[in-house]
Amino acid sequence: MANAPAHDSSQYYIPHHSPWPIRGSVALFTIMLGAIIYLNDWAGGWVFLPGPILLAYMFFGWFATVIDENQHGIYNLHVDKSFRMGMMWFIFSEVMFFGAFFGALFYARVLSVPWLGGQGVKVFTNFILWPQYEGVWPTNGPGHVGGHADGSFRIIPAIGIPALNTAILLTSGVTVTIAHHALRAGQRGKLALFLALTFLLGFTFVGFQAHEYGEAYRELGLRLSTGIYGSTFFMLTGFHGLHVTVGAIMLLVIWLRVLRGHFTPTRHFAFEAVAWYWHFVDVVWLGLFIFVYWL
């Protein structure tokens, strides 16, 4: 055994050591520490800055290493498959993260708000504390928390920017698929064009979303603090918007790699991983559009 090769490289690839994970851990710790210090008012907002910079440095370095190894042809199909599975399970964990917030939305709409309005088993809460409360969605609760000075607020109608954003994201799902087909057919020009379209659509989506948030805060009285509607609305769309931003940045990176001549018609895991992520973000949006904006 002792004289056998360290590993059969036709089967596996084992990197020998890497400084990036520990740098990532330090970056995460710095982010958390900054947030703790800031939230406890022990120092100003600047303490939050170093962490994300370190994290960006880690991502840049770690991915540069992986891309470099990949360009040297070190990864075989076996490693490729490990990456694929890893990405799929990561997306599954993201689905469950959104599941928690969708769960909160459904719980509020189906159970807690009707109960507060005097329906079902919790009738006494309404009877004793808030006999006037009707419990109709959308609501900022019986205490009329947040919103305008009189406790009222308006919501963003589904037909308008949200419908436009739906069209934008669905289109970007199509363009990324066209780009994928072009990659497999070896049509690099078409690939670069449609990939660029995809992340431009993504950033456009984020721009519209930011505009919508501005309007909600300034004019509609709809804020993060506007009761359970504002809480679920901003947490769901906010985390989704964050994911769109990250996904669009990932697409941008892939596009830059395409321009550098990376990826072959048969081997392009990173492209596919980002495309999966993009479709995941797309599907989450459909859930948001239906359950947050529309119904």
Mark 67-86 with x for binding to another protein (rule: CB under 8 A) and - for no binding.
-xx--x-x---x--xxx-xx
Question: How far is residue 104 CA from its own chain's centroid?
Answer: 18
Torsion of CA 275, 276, 281, 282, to 10 degrees: 80
Give yes or no for residue 89 binding another protein (CB under 8 A): yes
Q: Which member of 43, 49, 56, 107 binds another protein (CB under 8 A)?
A: 107
Residue given tokens 């600047």 in the structure block: 46
Q: Name residues contacting another protein, limited to 228-247 (CB under 8 A).
A: 228-232, 234-235
Q: Which member of 192, 224, 253, 283 binds another protein (CB under 8 A)?
A: 224
CA distances from 81 to 29, 51, 69, 205, 264 (A): 31, 32, 16, 32, 16
Instruction: Please report how close the Cβ of residue 19 comes to another protein at its closest, in angstroms.
Output: 5
Q: Which member of 57, 65, 171, 188 binds another protein (CB under 8 A)?
A: 65
Q: Which member of 47, 55, 111, 155 binds another protein (CB under 8 A)?
A: 111
29: nearest Cα among 54, 12, 9, 7:
54
Give yes or no for residue 132 binding another protein (CB under 8 A): no
Q: Which member of 43, 64, 123, 185 binds another protein (CB under 8 A)?
A: 64
Sequence-distant (≥ 6) Cβ neighbours of residue 219 within 8 angstroms: 154
Structural Rg of the chain based on CA atoms: 24
Residue 95: both structure tokens together: 């689905």
Q: Name residues contacting another protein, limited to 200-219 (CB under 8 A).
A: none
Q: Is 116 left (phi over 0), alpha (psi -120 to 50) or beta?
A: alpha
- Between 94 and 282, CB nearer to another protein: 94
294: nearest Cα among 103, 157, 138:
157
Q: State whether the Cα torsion 245-251-253-259 is positive or negative.
A: negative
Give yes or no for residue 295 binding another protein (CB under 8 A): no
Q: Which member of 43, 53, 97, 260 binds another protein (CB under 8 A)?
A: 97
Give yes or no for residue 159 binding another protein (CB under 8 A): no
Stretch binding another protein (CB under 8 A), from 14-22, 155-163, 182-190, 205-213: 14-22
Q: Name residues contacting another protein, limited to 162-201 (CB under 8 A).
A: none
Q: Name residues contacting another protein, limited to 23-62 (CB under 8 A).
A: 24-26, 28-29, 32-33, 35-36, 39-40, 62
